[in-house]
Amino acid sequence: MPACRYFQIRPRGKPEPLAGLEQALAALKEPGYVWLDYLDPTREQLTALAEPLGLHPLSIEDCLDEDQVPKLEAFPGHTFILFNAYLGAADGLAIEEVDLFLGEKFLLSVHGRGQGGVRFDAAIQDALRGDNGRLGQGPDFLLHALLDHIVDGKLAVIERLQEQIDTAEELVLRSATEFNPRALLEVRHSLLLLRKSLFHEREILVKLCRRDSPYVSDKAIFHFRDVSDHLTKFFEVIELTREMVTSLMEMYLSILNNHMARVSNRTNRVVRRLTMITTIFMPLTLLAGIGGMSEWTMMTGQENWRWAYPAFLAGMVALGVLSYLLLGRWDGRSTAKPKPPDGDAKKA
């Protein structure tokens, strides 16, 4: 739901709420500056600010377009900054675009875009706590407070992703066959989004620190350098976390491959034993079939059945033992380890 707030910040540095846009525009002529905070605004609301604040139409279009990368662009009369805020969600990461318009006498913040996850009240309270009028020095100090709040929120998201990686590692070590790699792939996707965002946001802070924006004072540069150091640290943490995900995925595939190899070896041993049993009993079955059809008694004569059948059974036993010994010897040779060459044996 769209919501608009207006504050006048005088040199003493405490935001004073204003009744509406007309009062905010009138306060531009007074000492201090004006902060206009828009939550999920419409195109008409932003277009109405173009003429009184001197906003460039392209910056308004970038503010309304989706899937924009973080950037800083200098226009006559203001500097446009596009930043990303990341919020933890049940299905991964929720990306919220935060657009900031920095002018000589104003700071316009646009956020929400249907989500409304970022709130700057805590950032203002932190900036005012123990502060001796720092916000009253100019809109660039308010810009630093908002960016610092957004960057600090990224740390909570990174820690949450690291906890998910630790949980996935425990599951892989406990039972790789029951582990679902989909969660790990989602973490890797979130890390890629964070890396992409941090890469461009570092460039924004570099431009602010070298005063590519004429509305950033020399006193504020030291504060922006602190935010830049945080982004650099987070970027390095993201790189290390991505390596952890890659190593964990390799470990999962290695454990799964070893498990499949053990299952395959066990299956091969069972099949080998069944093959030996089948090979042993095939000739016995042949002899039993012949004897069952009275072929044996026809060859030896029915009157000689007293010694013919014992001889037949003895032949079956002898043939079975002979087959077992031959197959056992063959199986032992096939499973024996190859001997090293003479040269290698002498070296050993």
- Which residues are within 8 A (CB) of 3 and not within 5 positions of it... i.e. 6 or more apart? 38, 39, 40, 112
In a domain, 54, yes or no: yes
pLDDT top residue among 84 and 89: 84
User: Quick one: pLDDT at residue 115?
Assistant: 57
In the predicted model, what is the mean pLDDT of residues 156-177? Answer: 86
C-alpha distances (whole Å) from 154 to each of 20, 51, 141, 238 are 32, 35, 20, 11
Which tokens belong to 224? 């922006």
With H, G, I as helix, E, B as strand and everything else as coil, classify residue 15.
Answer: strand
In a domain, 313, yes or no: no
The model's pLDDT over 180-215, given as tens digits with 9 standing for 90+, comes to 888 888 888 888 888 888 999 999 999 999 888 889
In the predicted model, what is the mean pLDDT of residues 93-103? Answer: 86
**Whether the Cβ atoms of residue 97 and residue 80 lie closer than 8 Å to each other:** no
In a domain, 115, yes or no: yes
User: Quick one: pLDDT at residue 299?
Assistant: 58
Positive or negative: CA dihedral 64, 68, 233, 159: positive
**For residue 83, is pLDDT > 70?**
yes
**For residue 102, is pLDDT > 90?**
yes
User: Quick one: pLDDT at residue 125?
Assistant: 67
309, β-bridge pairs: none
**For residue 348, is pLDDT > 50?**
no
User: Quick one: pLDDT at residue 345?
Assistant: 47
Greatest mean pLDDT range, 114-128, 129-143, 250-264, 271-285 = 250-264
With H, G, I as helix, E, B as strand and everything else as coil, classify residue 13.
Answer: coil
Q: Cα-atom radius of gyration of the chain, to the nearest Å?
A: 39
Half-sphere exposure of 18 (CA within 13 A, CB side): 22
| DSSP letter for each residue of 168-222 | HHHHHHH-GGG--THHHHHHHHHHHHHHHHHHHHHHHHHHHHTT-STTS-HHHHH
In the predicted model, what is the mean pLDDT of residues 298-312? Answer: 65
In the predicted model, what is the mean pLDDT of residues 236-246? Answer: 90
**For residue 226, is pLDDT > 50?**
yes
In the predicted model, what is the mean pLDDT of residues 61-79? Answer: 87
In a domain, 162, yes or no: yes
**For residue 331, what pLDDT band results from cuts at 50, 70 and 90?**
low
- Which residues are within 8 A (CB) of 227 and not within 5 positions of it... i.e. 6 or more apart? 144, 147, 148, 151, 205
With H, G, I as helix, E, B as strand and everything else as coil, classify residue 248.
Answer: helix
User: Quick one: pLDDT at residue 305?
Assistant: 61
DSSP assignment letter at 54: T
User: Quick one: pLDDT at residue 121?
Assistant: 66
**For residue 302, what pLDDT band results from cuts at 50, 70 and 90?**
low
Per the prediction, the chain carries an average pLDDT of: 80
DSSP assignment letter at 304: G
User: Quick one: pLDDT at residue 107?
Assistant: 92
Half-sphere exposure of 119 (CA within 13 A, CB side): 4
**For residue 294, is pLDDT > 60?**
no
User: Quick one: pLDDT at residue 344?
Assistant: 52
Tell me how crowded residue 50 is: count the other CB atoms within 10 A of its CB. Answer: 13
In a domain, 10, yes or no: yes
16, β-bridge pairs: 8
Residue where the block lists tokens 């900036």: 127
Residue 180 backbone dihedrals phi, psi, to 5 degrees: -100, 110
**Whether the Cβ atoms of residue 272 and residue 328 lie closer than 8 Å to each other:** no
The domain of 104 spans 3-256
User: Quick one: pLDDT at residue 334?
Assistant: 58
In the predicted model, what is the mean pLDDT of residues 316-332? Answer: 74
For the chain, percent of residues with pLDDT exceeding 90 = 14
DSSP assignment letter at 113: T
- Which residues are within 8 A (CB) of 148 and not within 5 positions of it... i.e. 6 or more apart? 123, 223, 226, 227, 230
The model's pLDDT over 13-67, given as tens digits with 9 standing for 90+, comes to 678 888 888 888 888 888 888 998 888 888 888 888 888 888 898 888 888 887 7
**Closest among 226, 229, 237 to 157, alpha carbons compared:** 237
Domain count, the chain: 1
**Closest among 241, 227, 239 to 83, alpha carbons compared:** 227
- pTM of the predicted protein model: 0.73
**For residue 80, is pLDDT > 90?**
yes
In a domain, 291, yes or no: no
In a domain, 338, yes or no: no
CATH at 250? 3.30.460.20
In a domain, 325, yes or no: no
